Amino acid sequence: MFESAEIGHKTEKADYDEALPLLRTRLLDAQFDLLEQKGFAVVVLINGIDGAGKGETVNLLNAWMDPRHIEAWAFDVPSSEEAERPHMWRFWRALPPRGKVGILFGNWYTDPIRARMDRSSKRAELDQHLDAINRFEAMLVHEGVLLIKLWFHLSKKAQKLRLEALEGDPRTRWRVTDQDWRYYKLYERYREVAEHGLRRTSTGDAPWIIVDGTDPRYRALFVGRTLLDAIGRRLEAASGHWVTRQTSPPLPSVLDKRNYLNALDLDKPLGKKAYEEVLESLQGRLALLTRDEAFACRSLVLVFEGVDAAGKGGAIRRVTAAIDARRYRIIPIGAPSDEEQAKPYLWRFWRQLPRRGKVAIFDRSWYGRVLVERVEGLCSEADWMRAYAEINDFEDELVDAGAVVVKFWLAIDRDEQLARFKARESLPHKRFKITDEDWRNREKWDDYEQAVCDMIDRTSTETSPWTVVEANNKYFARIKVLRAICERLESALRY
């Protein structure tokens, strides 16, 4: 969930000062339209890590918007009024009416996550809580509430810097408590519990939106823009009858052109000679692993995704070279057949799942739903929004059944793709590999990049994480792929 929020976004003061007046005007306009139309209520959930600017952001929103029609609630220790009624009573009290905005700061997520942090609840209990929350939120959405769930995040390093900065300033020293440092020490656990909780409750109708809390200006603009987009789009949907009644908040795009992919250094050095040596040893390792006794009760599912000419085929060949041909199958995924189109979209992948002791290599995969189908408009936004959770469930089932799922995004940059396209065109035996469609896809580069970042954020899970491969250098890419497979297999087979 946190990949994109940990690369460090920043907004300069000059940019902030320039963007702010317009943002505030538009937020006020949206608030006024909302009040006029009275079609739906807006509930903003504010959650996340300490020190990531939750309080400051709520203060800003209060200052920016008309305070008569926005109400912020903080939930601390329950009052006696609250403690004597069902748990959810205090939150029902705080629900805004249609036409207004309610900010719920510390809410129905706080207790279940804290209980799991403190190990006073078990994983199954947390999951039961989260499922109850899902049912509750689905009800809110059905009742017409626009639910915007914001999670404020900091990397461990950023949290440390932030706590130290607060402590170092006499005016803010009081804000840092022992509890804060205690939680900081539990950072990894907190991140893991939070990630699980967010993933489980990030639904198509009410997805979590992660706010990078590092830079106050970036964070403020990001939250303001997210609210504005969500409210604006919903107002628009309500005024036209041709759109569905409910729309979830749109996934926000970055404000500073910096994203998870373009923050990577794609040119990793590796010479041919070194490559060949390492290749051979890794292929040997992989060959042994797939012939290992322990692998007979497991299976291996490999997913290769990447833009055209990213080197998927080449990488796959280096993998298969190490495996007995009776053991693996390569499944190239193109347009679905008639038969496949007549079934739910995951059916074509379920039918290809490997038995124990076997390897299935998907050359493109179910991620087409949130990549090409999203960008090309081949399915509705509601369809691809719910797909993140569906895909996570699908991969959970694979892992529960003993499969090792390794997913690769082969990342090349625009120039490298152009060079490869041109090279392909000039080689007679590769010319068939380049089509008009490839050139057309290239024009949508930015849309694809956004889709890839969202995909990595929302489907890189504890049990089946994405491996992003810097692939401008093919040698480096192939080695990284093989090494990742070997390492994941070794840890699964308990070497």
**Binding residues for a copy of itself, per CB under 8 A?**
38, 41, 81, 84-89, 92-93, 95, 97-99, 124-125, 127-128, 131-132, 135-136, 139-140, 142-145, 299, 339, 342-347, 350-351, 353-356, 382-383, 386, 389-390, 393, 397-398, 400-401, 403
Which CB atom, from 13 or from 135, has the smaller least distance to a copy of itself? 135
For the chain, the 3-state helix, strand and coil shares in percent, each to the nearest 5, are 55, 15, 35
CA distance 265 to 413: 10
CB of 380 to a copy of itself, least distance (A): 10
Residues 296 and 40: their CA atoms lie apart, in Å, by 55
CA distance 165 to 160: 8
Least distance from a copy of itself to the Cβ atom of residue 407, Å:
17
If the CB atoms of residues 51 and 96 are measured against a copy of itself, the closer one turns out to be 96
Residue written as tokens 């939120």? 137
Query: Where do runs of H (alpha helix) occur along 38-97?
Result: 54-64, 80-83, 89-93
Q: Work out how close the CB of 3 gets to a copy of itself at its nearest, in angstroms, rounded to a whole number.
A: 24
Judged by beta carbon, residue 219 or residue 374, the one nearer a copy of itself is: 374
- Which residue lies nearer to a copy of itself by CB, 354 or 368? 354
- Specify whether the CB–CB gap between 295 and 289 falls below 8 A: yes
Residue 185: CB minimum distance to a copy of itself, A:
30
Our CB check for a copy of itself shows the closer of 340 and 447 to be 340
* Residue pair 290/323 in contact by the 8 Å Cβ criterion: yes
> Residue 415: exposed, middle, or buried by beta-carbon count in 10 A (0-12, 13-18, 19+)?
exposed
Instruction: Report the residue number, 10 or 351, with the smaller CB distance to a copy of itself.
Output: 351
Nearest CA among 236, 254, 237, 233 for reference residue 245: 237
Residue number with CB closer to a copy of itself (195 or 383): 383
**Minimum CB–partner distance for residue 243 and a copy of itself (Å):** 13
Beta carbon of residue 187, minimum distance to a copy of itself (angstroms, whole number):
28
Nearest distance from C-beta of residue 357 to a copy of itself, angstroms: 8
Strands 328-332 and 466-470, by their bridges, are unpaired
Q: Please give the structure tokens belonging to residue 205.
A: 């109708």
Three-class secondary structure of residue 248 per DSSP:
coil
332 phi, psi to nearest 5 deg: -80, 130
